[in-house]
Amino acid sequence: MRKTADTEPILSVRGLEITFKTDQGDRVFLRDASFDIRPGEVLGIVGESGSGKSITALSVMGLLPVSGLVSKGEAWFEGQDLFALSPRQLDKIRGKRLSMIFQDALTSLNPVFTIGNQIVESIRAHQDVSKTKARQMATDLLDRVGMADPETVLGQYAHMLSGGMRQRAMIAMALASEPALIIADEATSSLDVTIQAQIMHLLRELSLERDMSVLLITHDIGLIAQMADQVAVMYAGEIVENTDVFTLFEAPGHPYTRALLETVPSIEDDKDRELRAIPGVVPEDYYTITGCRFASRCSYVKPERCSLPQIMLPLDECRQVRCLRAQNNELEFVHSTQCEASKIALARRKEEALQKLTDRAVI
C-alpha cells in the first residue's frame, strides 16, 4: 500500500540557521528554516539566486564551506540528527542512504577510476550481488539516465566524457547506492531539455518504485509544477511559504510567492505580453533586516505591520507562510483553499503514475 502524507518524515529539518564568517564578522545568511520530506515525496525548494537553497542542502549533507556553520537547528534523518553526528558517522550515511547530485559533476567523479568501477563499487557496497550482476545493474542505470552506449561508458574515465555525459554518469552513481533521499541541486540545468526531462522522469519513477525521497532545488517554477509534491519557497535566506504543489499554484499565500508566479508566462498568454519581473532586487544586506525581508519589494507593505519580525505560521492545514498580514487575513488575494482536495489530487497523481509503472512492468 502507498504511504500517505501522514507517514513519518524521512528528513525533518527544524529551525536551521547558517552563519558565515566574513571580513565584516559573522553573518547569519539563513534563519529559521524548517521542512519535512516524507518517503517517496518530492520536496521542491524554489527561490531567486542567493536565497539560500544550496547552503540549506549543503548543511544537510555536512558539506558547508569551512567559513560556514550550522549555528542552530536539527536535521533528523532516519532517527539521527545529522547536525550532531561526527564526520565519521556522517560518512556512513553520505553517498549511501543520503546522496546528492551536484551541478558540477567533476566534484564527485573520481578521475582515476573508470565510471564502471565507481558505479559497480557503489552497488556492491550496499547490495550482496556478484560483480557480473552489479555490472549489469550499472549498465541498466546508465541506460536509464539516457547514455546512448552504456557498455562503452562503463570502461571510460570522467575526462573522456562530455560535460553532459559526465553529469549523467554522476547521477547514475548517486542512484547506485539506492539512497532513501537524494538531493538534486540544479543538477540538470546544464543538460539539454530532453535529457533533463528524462532524468526528472527517472527520479519520479524511483520515488514511486522505491519510495525514494527527492529534495529538488531549482529556480525553475515549471519544473516544480511537474515534479514536486511539496514546495518550500525561499526568499533572502528564509523559507516564506511551505505548501503542497496544487495549493501553491491555486492559492499562493505569501506576496512573494504570488509575485514569483506572476513572472511565469502561461501558455494562454498573449505572445506579445511582456515577461514581468518582480520590481527591485534582493537587498544585499538582507541578513541585517529584522522585519520582513521582502518589504522593499512588496506591494502590500504596511510599515507598522511589516517591520515586525515575521514568523512562519499556518494559514490553514495545507499552508504555512511568513507574513503577518496574510496570517491576519488582510490580503485580498489570499483566498481560502480546499486542502482536502489538494491532498486528493496529490494522491491521485501518484496513483496514476504508479499505475503507469505497473502497466509497463506487465507489458
Ligand X SMILES: Nc1ncnc2c1ncn2[C@@H]1O[C@H](COP(=O)(O)OP(=O)(O)OP(=O)(O)O)[C@@H](O)[C@H]1O
Taking CB under 6 A as the criterion, the residue among 19, 51, 255, 312 binding ligand SF4 is 255
Per-residue contact string for residues 181-220; x = within reach of ligand X by CB under 6 A: --------------------------------------x-
Alpha-carbon span 361 to 171, nearest angstrom: 23
Cβ proximity of 204 and 357 under 8 Å: no
Torsions phi, psi of 268, nearest 5?
-80, -10
Cβ proximity of 283 and 237 under 8 Å: no
Which lies closer to Mg ion via its Cβ, residue 54 or residue 167?
Answer: 54
Least distance between ligand SF4 and beta carbon 306 (Å) = 3
Per-residue burial over 239-259, b = 16 or more CB atoms within 10 Å of its CB, e = otherwise = bbbbbbbbbbbebbbbbbbbb
Look-up: residue for cell 536539527?
A: 74
Alpha-carbon span 256 to 242, nearest angstrom: 12
Q: Which residues contact Mg ion by CB under 5 A?
A: 54
Alpha-carbon span 163 to 159, nearest angstrom: 9
- Judged by beta carbon distances under 5 to 8 A according to partner kind, the member of ligand X, ligand SF4, Mg ion, none in contact with residue 86 is none
**Is residue 224 involved in binding ligand SF4 (CB under 6 A)?**
no
Piece of the chain touching ligand SF4 by CB under 6 A; list 120-128, 200-208, 282-290, 297-305 = 297-305
Q: Which residues pair with 26 in a beta bridge?
A: 21
**Is residue 291 involved in binding ligand X (CB under 6 A)?**
no
Taking CB under 6 A as the criterion, the residue among 13, 35, 43, 51 binding ligand X is 51
Piece of the chain touching ligand X by CB under 6 A; list 53-61, 224-232, 243-251, 258-266 = 53-61
Q: Which residues in 217-276 contact ligand X (CB under 6 A)?
A: 219
Within 13 A of 97's CA, how many CA atoms are on the CB side? Answer: 14
Torsions phi, psi of 110, nearest 5?
-85, 125
Q: Which three cell numbers stand for residue 72?
A: 542552530
**Is residue 49 involved in binding ligand X (CB under 6 A)?**
yes
- Judged by beta carbon distances under 5 to 8 A according to partner kind, the member of ligand SF4, Mg ion, ligand X, none in contact with residue 219 is ligand X
Cβ proximity of 14 and 74 under 8 Å: yes
Taking CB under 6 A as the criterion, the residue among 7, 67, 110, 358 binding ligand X is 67
Piece of the chain touching ligand X by CB under 6 A; list 60-68, 71-79, 304-312, 350-358 = 60-68
The radius of gyration computed from the CA coordinates of the chain, to the nearest angstrom, equals: 21
User: What are the Cα distances from residue 339, in Å, to 75, 111, 219, 316?
Assistant: 27, 49, 25, 8
Which lies closer to ligand SF4 via its Cβ, residue 14 or residue 305?
Answer: 305
Query: Whose CA is closest to 13, among 49, 57, 52?
Result: 57
Torsions phi, psi of 8, nearest 5?
-60, 140
Least distance between ligand X and beta carbon 49 (Å) = 3
Least distance between ligand SF4 and beta carbon 330 (Å) = 8
Residues that bind ligand SF4 (CB under 6 A): 255, 292, 294-295, 298, 300-301, 305-306, 310, 323-325
Return residues touching ligand X (CB under 6 A): 20, 22, 29, 47, 49-55, 65, 67-68, 219
